[in-house]
Amino acid sequence: MKQYFLYFIFFIFITSCKNDTEKQPIKKTLSIAEKIANAHGISKWNTVNQIDFTFNVDKDSTHFERHWSWQPKTNNVTLITGKDTINYNRSKIDSLSLRVDQGFINDKFWLLAPFQLVWDSGTTISEATKEKAPISDTVLNKITLTYSNKGGYTPGDAYDFYYDKNYTIKEWVFRKGNTEKPSMITTFENHKDFNGITIAKDHKKAEGNWNLSFSNIIIKTQS
């Protein structure tokens, strides 16, 4: 009788431990891409109703700009330039809005590159390595984002992202068509917080008087 009682107590203890173990939440291991996106505030993206920004390129004495207003929940987009104001919805791209949308995708990619790492499908992301960044010559972490040869406006392109220990992007290399030779190399700098979302406002080349920048950034979130 005593042995039966001890066995019963032991069985209850083992069962209780097992149940407690089963109740423990499983911790998901985040990928490098997810860690970079999180470091730049992607957890706040679901609260964004509208984002306005001006895309600027200054080269020597020339200046180019276009202003965008995007409502991500409805995918309504407005382009404002010195000549035109164009409204369209990204779910209904036609021959007239196609060219405008190509510009929007380009400018949005520069603005929200850390998020595109997890948003875009049909991509592969390499394992992280440590390498000297091409502009600062600082040893940083590096991953490569490569697009498939099908779909999108620029299929087959590759981007080398250089990021620090806090998963903040510092530089990148764009390689058109995944060629070995870089097509463009710029910094990611002047990081600013906009309602919890971190954006690099300036992108500069190592040589020449060239700067791609963002101004008039307004991120409207749910109240």
Tokens of 57: 């390129």
Integer Cα distance of 20 and 186 in angstroms = 51
Q: What is the pLDDT of residues 179-210, one digit of tens each?
A: 999 999 999 999 999 999 999 999 999 998 99
Integer Cα distance of 180 and 46 in angstroms = 37
What pLDDT is attached to residue 18? 37
What pLDDT is attached to residue 26? 55
Q: Which residue, 154, 173, 155, is CA-closest to 163? A: 173
What pLDDT is attached to residue 7? 41
What pLDDT is attached to residue 208? 86
pLDDT of residue 10 exceeding 90, the answer is no
Q: Which residue, 23, 34, 25, 64, is CA-closest to 143? A: 34
The DSSP 8-state label assigned to residue 112 in this structure reads: T
Integer Cα distance of 82 and 61 in angstroms = 18
Q: State which amino acid sits at residue 67.
A: H
**Mean pLDDT of all residues in 45-52:** 97
Q: What is the pLDDT of residues 126-146, one digit of tens each?
A: 999 999 999 999 999 999 999
pLDDT of residue 32 exceeding 60, the answer is yes
Q: State which amino acid sits at residue 212.
A: L
Give phi and psi for 5, each to the nearest 5.
-65, -45
Give phi and psi for 211, each to the nearest 5.
-150, 125
